[in-house]
Every structure is written in C-alpha cells, then in structure tokens.
Amino acid sequence: MRILTCLKQVPERDSRYKLNQDGSGILEEDLVFETNESDLYALEESLRLREAFGGEVAALSLGPDRVSKVLRNALAMGADRAIHLKDEAFERGDARGTAQAIAAAIGPDAFDLVLTGVQSEDMAYAQTGAVLAQVLGWPCATIVMEIAYEAETRGIQVKRELESNVFERVELPLPAVLTIQSGSHPIRYATLRGIMQAKKKEYRVLTAKDLGLSPETVGEVAAKVRHHRLLVPEKKKQTVMIEGGAEDAARTLMDKLVNEIGVI
C-alpha cells in the first residue's frame, strides 16, 4: 500500500503569543515549532498499515525551511521519503490552495491513501483533508479512529467518531483520503537507529514551478477568505486569581469553596 501522510508544523502547545504591530500575525522569533498532534497520529496509522501490508509511506509538509524538522522527525519515525513543498507562493493560503499544491505533488496514480490529522492546532480550519479529496476526486472519511484494509476488494472500512460517544463504521474504495483523530494508537518515538537512517532517506523539495502551479492558484491570492487581525480573547467571566504559594493558594481556594460558594 502506498500512503502519503500530510503533516503540518504548528507552534508548541504551551506557546505564549506576541502579536505583530498591526495585529495581522504573530511574531515567530520566540516560538518553538512542533508537528501537529493529530498529524502524528496519522503518521502512526500510516506506518502500521505499511507494516501490515507492505508498500511505502511518504511524508509531506508545506511551509518554510523550519518544517524540515517535521519531515526529519517523520523519516526518523519510519517514513520512507519526504516531500517538502516550499515556496513563498504557498504561504498564507487557505485549505483549497494547500490542497491544490498537495494534489499537484501527488500526481497520477502515485498513492492509494492519503492520511492527515483531523485539524491543525494553530488555525483549526479542519478542512485540508476533505478539500484535498474533492480536488483529487477521491472519497473521504474524516475523524477516523480505526482503519481496516481488505486486500481482496481493495477497499477499507473505517470507524469514525461522531459526537457524544457515538461511532459509525463506513466503507470506501481506494484511493481515498482519511483524516485521523487523536488517540487511535500511541505515537511511536523516533529511535536513535531511526534518526541515523533518516539521514540517508530521500528528501525532495518542490516549488510551485516544479509542480506546474501558477502563484495565483495557491497561497494568499487564491484564498477564499481574508484574515483581518488577531485579538486576545476577552474573558467570559470575572476570574478570581488566587495568588501565593501552593499551600496558601490551596487554603484560600478551599475556604472560598466551603464558605462563599458552599459547594463543599
């Protein structure tokens, strides 16, 4: 089975954000970036499918130089090769632009499955996978928890998460796009051996020109939405922040819960 796994690089979860002067973006200088968590689950599922059925796993990421960290890590975890879509023309695109670039990189008949995470932790549009499926003309299942492949029919059955502890099982033919929910299987760590082997694996950098894409079809120009500014959210509640060391804070809190709120 030939699988493409799409991974996005996002700021670390505990990041503190500073806005630029006009509020149109964040300052990247002090940020540390990591791989989007649900994309790592997608990679884990991809590696498991390859281990069970053979084939290859290619890891793809779109972004500036810094995303090589995501791809090197994917190679170290076990991906066979890396595709880095790197071009100023791709920047600030929406899901459609990103999907166009990925679809162009896929080309004809190269993969049976594309796996990616349910959503990114930074912009959280939760669209790239499903839009990519539409661009490719492939079927898609989102929010997938389990994948079962049937070699005879060349179809897959997946378990999808619905809301409130309800699930559904659906069947779809290959090639297909799946977006993977967190929690499917524990994410493996890169081993020292994996890190050493990663250095010898294929790492391709592709620009818009390499993919035959004109800049007007990807990136900010092609986006169907316009980003205005970022804002620090207003608090919904008047939060009483309890100061002091652990012991004092704990005493103050318990005192309020017992005497003021009366819930304990």
Partner 1 sequence: MEGRIIILGEHREGRLKKTSWEAIGLGRKLSAELGKEVCLALVGSEIDGLAREVSGRSGLEVVVLSNDYCRHYTPEAYCEALAEFAGTEHPYLVLLGHTYQTMDFAPRLAAMLDRGLIPNCVDYRCEAGQLVWVRQVFNGKLNLEVSPKGEPPCLVSLQQGAFPASEEDLGAPPQVVRRRIGVAEGALRRKLLEVMEAVQTRVDLSQAEIIVAGGRGLGSKEKFQLILDLAEALGAGVGASRPVTDGGWLPKEHQIGSSGQTVTPRLYIACGISGAIQHLVGMSNSGCIVAINKDPYAPIFQVADYGIVGDVFQVVPKLIEIAREIRS
Residues 142-161 that bind partner 1 (CB under 8 A): 142-143, 157, 160-161
Identify which of residues 134 and 191 has a Cβ nearer to partner 1 in the complex. Answer: 134
Smallest gap from Cβ 89 to partner 1, in A, equals 17
Q: Which is nearer to partner 1, 75 or 114 (CB)?
A: 114
Stretch that binds partner 1, among 44-52, 70-78, 137-145, 207-215 (CB under 8 A): 137-145
User: For residue 259, what is the DSSP state?
Assistant: I
CA 143/CA 68 separation, integer angstroms: 26
Q: With beta carbons less than 8 A apart as the criterion, state whether 73 and 190 touch.
A: yes
- Cβ atoms 144, 164 nearer than 8 A: no
Candidates 62-70, 74-82, 194-202, 255-263; binding stretch for partner 1 (CB under 8 A): 255-263
Phi first, then psi: what are they for 258, rounded to 5°?
A: -80, -50
Cα angle 138, 81, 198 (rounded to 5 degrees) comes to: 150
In the bound state with partner 1, the residue whose beta carbon lies nearer, of 82 and 106, is 106
Measured distance CA(181)–CA(178) in Å, rounded: 10
How many residues bind partner 1 (CB under 8 A)? The answer is: 81
**Interface positions, 161-220, toward partner 1 (CB under 8 A):** 161-173, 182-183, 186
Tell me how far, at minimum, the Cβ of 65 lies from partner 1, in Å.
Answer: 21
Binding to partner 1 by residue 13, rule CB under 8 A? yes
- How wide is the angle at C-alpha 165 spanned by C-alphas 160 and 169, nearest 5°? 25
